[in-house]
A and B are shown apart, each in its own frame.
Chain A
Amino acid sequence: DAKTTQPNSMESNEEEPVHLPCNHSTISGTDYIHWYRQLPSQGPEYVIHGLTSNVNNRMASLAIAEDRKSSTLILHRATLRDAAVYYCILAGTYKYIFGTGTRLKVLA
């Protein structure tokens, strides 16, 4: 099964942009790239997803490499409420695999 690799933790200063990387070298052509985040003591919540093109929504942007073997979640201005574990997931037929995620710490 396809897996993703993310750094265990990252830090950012408040109001600064954050780039969260994800490697998925075994991605198949039909896999979507999803990002979720999990706040303390809560279930994961959807952030953004894409297939080939870069995507933007009110929460974040997703930049996908041309070969699709990596992607980057971009938070344009980190706030204290963005402190969470961020998961990069490959979603395809019969598979939706979470990795261990990146714990983002936002410094005031």
Chain B
Amino acid sequence: DAEITQSPRHKITETGRQVTLACHQTWNHNNMFWYRQDLGHGLRLIHYSYGVQDTNKGEVSDGYSVSRSNTEDLPLTLESAASSQTSVYFCASSRDRSTDTQYFGPGTRLTVL
């Protein structure tokens, strides 16, 4: 069955380190998204991509970057991790239009000490 996976599921890192969170989907969806979820804030969009070589900033993109070299993967990189980036990160994908249903991964819990 097609699916969307995230790795690692849990990560502890130190302030200042570079961290990359992986997201892989097997639906062949054009659109992929990264969100973070913090208590009291719901989900907030970090970056999104509408296809290979396309990336766009969301509402909370500072300190994060993404690259889309193929359809299946959208890795999220924290260039220099900060304690404020401690959060649960969710990756999602959707087929074509921005209005299509999004399918979410299981999440990655990141702790920055």
> Which chain A residues have a beta carbon within 8 Å of chain B's beta carbons?
1, 31-32, 34, 36, 41-46, 49, 87, 91-101
**B46 close to chain A: CB less than 8 A:** no
Instruction: State the majority secondary structure of interface residues on B.
Output: strand
For residue A91, which residues in chain B have a CB less than 8 angstroms away from its CB?
98-99
> Which chain B residues have a beta carbon within 8 Å of chain A's beta carbons?
33, 35, 40-45, 48, 56, 59, 90, 92, 98-99, 101-107
Selected from B43, B48, B92, B103, the residue in CB contact (under 8 A) with A87 is B43
Question: A-B pairs with CB below 8 Å: how many?
Answer: 54
For residue A36, which residues in chain B have a CB less than 8 angstroms away from its CB?
102
Selected from B45, B56, B98, B105, the residue in CB contact (under 8 A) with A43 is B105
Q: How far is the CB of B40 from chain A (nearest CB, A)?
A: 7
Closest partner residue, chain B, to A1 (CB atom): B59
A43-B90, A43-B106, A45-B104 are contacts. A98–B42 as well, Cβ < 8 Å? Answer: yes
